[in-house]
Structure 1
Amino acid sequence: MSVISVESNNIEVFPVRNAKQLDIFIRLPRLIYSHFPDYIPPLDFEETSLLHPKKSAFFRYGTAQYFLAYKDNKPVGRISAQVDPNALRQWKEPIGLFGALDAIDDAEVVQQLINAASQWLRKHGMEKIRGPYTLNVNSEAGTMVKGQKDPPMIAMPWHPEYLGKHIESSGLSKVMDLVSYQMIMGDKARKAHKIPSGLKMGSGRLGNITTRKLNMKEISRDGEILRQLYNDAWNNTWGFVPLTPTEMSVLIRDLKSMLRPENYVLVEQNKMPVAVALVIPNIYDLSKNIGPTPSLLGWAKIGYRVLRHQIQSARVILLGISHSIRDTAMGALMPSLVIDELFNRGELLSYKMIELGWILEDNKGMRNLIERIVPEPCKVHRIFEAKLHY
């Protein structure tokens, strides 16, 4: 196993080469963040699905290398470096990615990890480094710079406050913030969300607008509708990379047991899909007080909670409005109608809180709509970038 970065102050960075090292890589955040009272580790199977080369959808088309940092022979940090051909085609720039960056409060550890990732990306012909993305743009994104004390949310990474500062001191600069909002369900939020009087989908002026739920017997078909509409809606926005059929199939595989028909909002105009939203249950509610590695009894409790749908919170992860109506009056109204539909399903979904995110900080239209209900973001995740010097 060769050393990738230069040894400094007893810090060494090694590429992950075997199963034992991969296991350390996957579990490392739990080891180094365990003393933070606000950190709640995700379930091991979630992290394995996200990062293991045999489980992750990314490795079916992308290339990546994992690295571990050691200080005084103890693992103290990790990082991934990856080349995503889908991102290269979309961005038309040789931008390599980094992700899964977690470390102790040591600026030099972070510096050496970023050096290792940068060196690997240079060898693969990249001219810029951008991230963190774990492992691609459509998965976990950004370093948390605000919201550490808020409840954890599915597919939203947690980081201590120092990490973003250490990334900047390593020579990377902010390129975009991703913001999230917590919408507390109930009458107060419903009253704050106002749509023009007399407008109701399926009647009057909106007689040709209908909505439907997820068809569990045709979940793959509905997933493909969601994928195509999402890609159509967000094409040409900053950092967008199309969601692939493989990624959608893996998403469905991982979420199918938790989804109910009400979690899927499909809006059709004259029976043609024009808007979509997917609300995913917060798996942290299922694993509460059980821990990242459940026992048989722990798994039984999770299974019972799934069957009883004992979930208090959820996240809107995919929301899109078709280009066919985006620049019309109907397109401007559609996000409000989708949110209104979520309120209408309140009794069926029974969530006390729905997190809306992440949203690009410069998406003023969406932010203005949400901030009528929720004035301030609850969480901010930051994307960094730098040129790679040869």
Structure 2
Amino acid sequence: MQCEASNPQSGEIDVRPVVTRGDLRRFITLPRHIYKGMTGFVSPLDMEQRHLLNPKESPVFRHAEIQYFLAWRDGKPVGRIAAIVDLKAIEHWQEVIGQFGALDALPESPIVSALLQKVEEWLQKRQISKVRGPVTLSGNAETGTMVEGQCSAPMIAIPWHPKGLDEFIRQAGYKKTQDLLSYRLELGDNTEERFKVPGNLKLGEGRLSSITTRNLSKKEITTQGEVLRKLYNDAWSHKYNFVPMQDYEMTAMIEQIKPLLRPEHYVQIDQNGEPVAMAMVLPNLYDIAGDLGGAPSPLGWVRLGYRLATHKFHSARVILLGVTSKLRGTMLGSLLPSLAIVELMRRGHNLPYTWVELGWVLESDTGMRNLAESLVPHPHKRHRLYEKELPPA
């Protein structure tokens, strides 16, 4: 099965900054127009993309300078990209690195090259000599260029790109730094048994008697969200490309995903009352919206509302999984990810999911890879991050 469809065309490529409201609308909706008809592509909802990309809705704009660009050919947009200077990222990395993101284009070398060149010029004017990406618009959101898995089922917050984009990015002088892996875990009656927890240890029992769990409470979701944010920032602070999540980013994320959440979707693990680990699974929005297109009709919105109210999902994604740095390198710290997922699966018996996606997993994160690959030998999706040194302006 081929998961790409684009015949290179002639015509000059003109890359221009996004200035008007019409430009912004084109920028946000561009993927569903240029990728239409490509095998494996399913359009995300425009509403979801506006939350990611509209400066009035995306919290990233509170701490980042961002400029959008559109590539035009023969009067039609054929690609897009964002140039990003994220002050929170620079502060955490202690290195001045610019970023590119929201890269979507027809898989043709002249288009991709022209878009990347425009970002590089924009960053060089700001005295930035290294660029990393892609992110949309932060490492806490959609990340990487899809290099494998174009024909796999779409998943919420996982970007889709046609084959070829990776090659053209590398042709423009970008070198791979990390791959991000996703694993498809089929669920069944024996799912919990497949997690090998030494000694059949269980939370709250025996040697783990000091370990307790908490459920998600919609009444206390704001307070729980802040606990989750702090634990997430602590657990992931040493990972490649990590950027600390700000309180206003967590608030915005909760507001967006609250309609999808149920108590079974989140487990917080405490040790003597102190949060030490967490895991969250998010229902796959594509299950109920994938056949409606990016801009549903009035009847489509009615169908979406009914499917949401009756929870007509069959898949989900583990979006957060982490352990406090205080337990890093300890036996308990190595056990907690498995125990957290087992707890999620135990609760998930009440949910209709037939499979879940475990991702992102950094290819350099041997602990998480060993956990995932003890259940699923090979990833079914692979996304890639790149860097490039820039000459002085």
The one-letter code matched in structure 2 to 1:176 is Q
Q: How many residues end up aligned between the 2 structures? A: 383
Residue 341 (str. 1) matches residue 317 (str. 2): no
CA distance in 1, matches of 2:224, 2:347: 19
Aligned to 1:54: 56
Shift of 1:37: 2.1
The one-letter code matched in structure 2 to 1:388 is L
Residue 228 (str. 1) matches residue 238 (str. 2): no
SS in 1 for 2:335: helix
Aligned to 2:220: 218
CA distance in 2, matches of 1:381, 1:246: 27
The one-letter code matched in structure 2 to 1:70 is W
Residue 360 (str. 1) matches residue 362 (str. 2): yes
Shift of 1:122: 1.1
SS in 2 for 1:160: coil
Aligned to 2:191: 189
CA distance in 2, matches of 1:325, 1:74: 54
Aligned to 2:270: 268
Aligned to 1:132: 134
Asked if structure 1 preserves the Cα contact closer than 8 Å seen for 2:182 and 2:379, the reply is yes
1:77 to 76, 79, 88: 79
The one-letter code matched in structure 2 to 1:143 is T
Aligned to 1:11: 13
Aligned to 1:329: 331
Aligned to 1:121: 123
Cα deviation, 1:322-373, whole Å, max 9, x if unaligned, reads: 1122222111111110111122112123311111110110100111111111
Asked if structure 2 preserves the Cα contact closer than 8 Å seen for 1:185 and 1:346, the reply is no
CA distance in 1, matches of 2:40, 2:190: 28
Moved over 6 A (4+): none
CA distance in 1, matches of 2:245, 2:127: 24
Relative to 1, partners in 2 of residues 1:94 and 1:304: Cα closer, same or farther, differing over 3 Å?
same
Q: Which moved more, 1:117-126 or 1:375-384?
A: 117-126
Q: Which moved more, 1:310-319 or 1:81-90?
A: 310-319
The one-letter code matched in structure 1 to 2:56 is K
TM-score norm. by structure 1 comes to 0.96
Shift of 1:108: 0.9
Residue 203 (str. 1) matches residue 227 (str. 2): no
Aligned to 1:247: 249
Residue 39 (str. 1) matches residue 58 (str. 2): no
Q: Which moved more, 1:342-351 or 1:281-290?
A: 342-351
Structure 1 residue runs of 5 or longer lacking an equivalent are: 1-7
Relative to 1, partners in 2 of residues 1:214 and 1:109: Cα closer, same or farther, differing over 3 Å?
same
The one-letter code matched in structure 2 to 1:316 is V
Cα deviation, 1:35-66, whole Å, max 9, x if unaligned, reads: 20210010010011110111111111211000
Asked if structure 2 preserves the Cα contact closer than 8 Å seen for 1:138 and 1:243, the reply is yes
The one-letter code matched in structure 1 to 2:381 is K
Asked if structure 1 preserves the Cα contact closer than 8 Å seen for 2:42 and 2:290, the reply is no
The one-letter code matched in structure 2 to 1:271 is G
The one-letter code matched in structure 2 to 1:321 is V
2:104 to 98, 102, 108: 102
Cα deviation, 1:282-335, whole Å, max 9, x if unaligned, reads: 111120322211122211111111111111111111111011222221111111
Asked if structure 1 preserves the Cα contact closer than 8 Å seen for 2:150 and 2:162, the reply is yes
Structure 2 residue runs of 5 or longer lacking an equivalent are: 1-9
1:152 to 151, 154, 170: 154
Aligned to 2:3: none
Aligned to 2:387: 385
CA distance in 2, matches of 1:82, 1:333: 38
Shift of 1:197: 3.0
Shift of 1:188: 4.4
Aligned to 2:30: 28
Asked if structure 2 preserves the Cα contact closer than 8 Å seen for 1:263 and 1:349, the reply is no
Aligned to 1:5: none
CA distance in 2, matches of 1:376, 1:39: 22
The one-letter code matched in structure 2 to 1:80 is A
Asked if structure 2 preserves the Cα contact closer than 8 Å seen for 1:287 and 1:302, the reply is yes
Q: Which moved more, 1:344-353 or 1:215-224?
A: 344-353
